[in-house]
Amino acid sequence: MAEKGWAVLAGLLRANAQEIVNEWVRLQRQDLALRNNLLKAGELEQQCRDFIELLSRALETGGGANVNTSDTWAPVRDFLSGISRSRARQGFSPTETATFVFSLKQPVFDVLRKNVAAEELTDRAWDITTLLDALGLYTTETYQKGREEIIARQQQELLELSTPVVQLWEGVLALPLIGTLDSARTQVVMESLLQTIVDTGSEIAIIDITGVPVVDTLVAQHLLKTVAAARLMGADCIISGIRPQIAQTIVHLGVEINDVITKATLADAFAIALKRAGLAVVRKASAGRAAGAAE
Amino acid sequence: MEQRIPILKMGRFLLVSIQVDMDDRTAMTLQDDLTAQIVKHRARGVLIDISSLDVVDSFIGRMLANTAAMARILDADTVVVGMQPSVAITLVELGLSLKGVRSALNVERGMELLRSIAEGGESEAEPTDADREE
Amino acid sequence: MRIAKSETMSVRAAPEVVGVRHAVRKWAVELGFSLVEQTKIVTAASELARNMVDYGKGGTLTLEGLDDGHRRGLRLIFEDHGPGIPDLAAALRDGFTTGSGMGLGLGGARRLSNEFEIKTAPGEGTRIAITRWRGVS
């Protein structure tokens, strides 16, 4: 690429900055008709003006090559990353975010047509197109990364929220599992259960899977490993809430579940747990009569 | 480094608390010492506290299982207490079954268990090989 | 993928197995492994170190801190010039043998690791590499 070409572009951008910004903002607002409330008035204008400035400076310094890697273009990349991340957070779609860069093409073409001689026009147009394409793609990529970071963080939060180990009674824990269990989640949950067994000195843990729609081999194995680990530590597990479909799956998978106590409901499991702990629930007859109410 | 792990006598029971990262020699010495002490004191039970161990590999596991087997022959029961969760998870992954070794959450429960077995009344079912096998 | 850090230690006698456990634990902690991840790799290392001493006539352990751009890992390479393992398939099969035989060592170490590589032949020694990545079960 001729150095002169980039310098020409830079010069044109600077000289016509206001005109370009005005048209650019108008086009974006048109495309983002539904999102106007997300961008404060004047904020978009400022972002566009800043970008043109950074773009011009980079073109003047090092030309339009290696936008993804060279240090010259680092300020532009950082700026676009910032825009990408904030748009991702605000809920813009990837296309809407990349529109920031791509909609700049039209206003720049208009300026080129008015200021560049016919024989040079094609080259300059090509230069700016490839440049903005590269930057637009870069924007999309950082957008993606931004979304992935959000999802990873949300997953972590969900994991922490949905691993509740409950103490039903002294020495009796319950772990009601809800939703689909993937390998990672099951592990976190099981480790949490085992740690709670130690912390509370509970000898019985009821793992209730009523709320788990699908139990595949991996999950079944994790459950059994947890039961085995608890036993090694000196506690026993009861698995409750095994629906007929899950029982079928387990048998079909050939998983060995013979020596684990299983109960249909958490209530049944609790009854067993109480019995083993040497506890009993007793109805107090006198209280009912004293209240005078019919049973 | 020669280390000898102390064995305490508590009535008819022996209590061992493993506080150090044992090398093979130390583990074997402990096994021998325990067997000797069971005979010497006609102990009815052995309680091994492993709450300080953050690693139990197959060698140590075998030592525990062998100790329990020898104790059984000498008419004594063995209870291992205080296994850390990550150790338990790793042992299961390793595929190690501590056959013949009962377990309890802590020293207090372990002693209760040993006493109830010694008195002839079991507080829970006898762990058979089927219970311990994967 | 790059090797960020590397260290080699000699493992010739039984007492040194404890040193192996401590070294691996230290590296695992530095790499930010969870407690369970630490325990798994330390236990696997203990198995392999002991095998190397008992059957391989001693050898070396090389610890490598790995970074593949996304995550960090720990690779342990156990190398000896002992007699080699004659029947690898049998050795990898779990046999809870007492006395001679590797029992759960080899298969166990494999189960406890994310990656497992072994190179051995009678008379040619043995090289075993295990890797655990942070955040991978």
In the predicted model, is pLDDT for residue B104 greater than 90?
yes
**Which of chain C's residues have a Cβ under 8 Å away from the Cβ of B56?**
43
Mean pLDDT within B7-32: 93
Question: Is A289 buried (19+), middle (13-18) or exposed (0-12) by CB count in 10 A?
Answer: exposed
pLDDT at B132: 39
Which domains, from first to last, does chain B contain? Answer: 7-133 (3.30.750.24)
Residue ranges, comma separated, of all CATH 1.10.490.10 domains in chain A are 3-156
Nearest to B24 among C14, C42, C108 (CB): C14
CA distance A243 to chain B (A): 24
Band (pLDDT 50/70/90 cuts) for residue A234 is very high
Mean pLDDT within A123-142: 91
CATH class of domain segment(s) A166-276: alpha beta
When mean pLDDT is compared across A82-86, A257-261, C108-112, the lowest value belongs to: A257-261
Nearest to C36 among A183, A184, A191 (CB): A191
pLDDT at A85: 82
Which domains, from first to last, does chain C contain? Answer: 2-133 (3.30.565.10)
Decide: pTM greater than 0.90. no
Secondary structure (3-state) at B1: coil
pLDDT at B2: 64
* Closest to A268 measured CA to CA, from A212, A210, A213: A210
Cβ distance of C137 and A183 shorter than 8 Å:
yes
Residue ranges, comma separated, of all CATH 3.30.750.24 domains in chain A are 166-276
In the predicted model, is pLDDT for residue B133 greater than 70?
no
Q: What is the rounded CA–CA span in Å between residue C108 and residue C27? A: 21
pLDDT at C105: 81
**Which of chain C's residues have a Cβ under 8 Å away from the Cβ of A183?**
137
User: Subunits that touch chain A (at least 3 Cβ pairs < 8 angstroms)?
Assistant: B, C
Which one of B31, B57, B62, B87 would you mutate to disrupt binding with C, by most C Cβ within 10 Å of its Cβ?
A: B57
User: Subunits that touch chain C (at least 3 Cβ pairs < 8 angstroms)?
Assistant: A, B
Mean pLDDT within B78-101: 92
More confident call, A163 vs C73: C73
User: Residue C128 pairs with which residues in a beta bridge?
Assistant: C78, C118
- The answer to whether B78 and B67 have CB atoms below 8 angstroms apart is yes
Band (pLDDT 50/70/90 cuts) for residue A262 is confident
* C57 touching B (Cβ < 8 Å): no
* Closest to A238 measured CA to CA, from A209, A214, A216: A209
Identify the residue whose tokens are 């075998």: B62
In the predicted model, is pLDDT for residue A259 greater than 80?
no
Q: Which CATH architecture has domain A3-156?
A: Orthogonal Bundle (1.10)
**Residue A277 φ/ψ, nearest 5 degrees:** -85, 0
- The answer to whether C78 and C48 have CB atoms below 8 angstroms apart is yes
CA distance C125 to chain B (A): 23
Cβ distance of B96 and C104 shorter than 8 Å:
yes
pLDDT at B4: 87
Cβ distance of C137 and A187 shorter than 8 Å:
yes
Which residues, given as ranges, of chain C have pLDDT below 50? 96-101
Q: How far is CA C95 from each of CA B66, C105, C129, rounded to the nearest angstrom?
A: 16, 9, 21
In the predicted model, is pLDDT for residue A105 greater than 90?
yes
* A248 touching C (Cβ < 8 Å): no
pLDDT at A162: 65
Band (pLDDT 50/70/90 cuts) for residue B82 is very high
Cβ distance of B86 and C94 shorter than 8 Å:
no
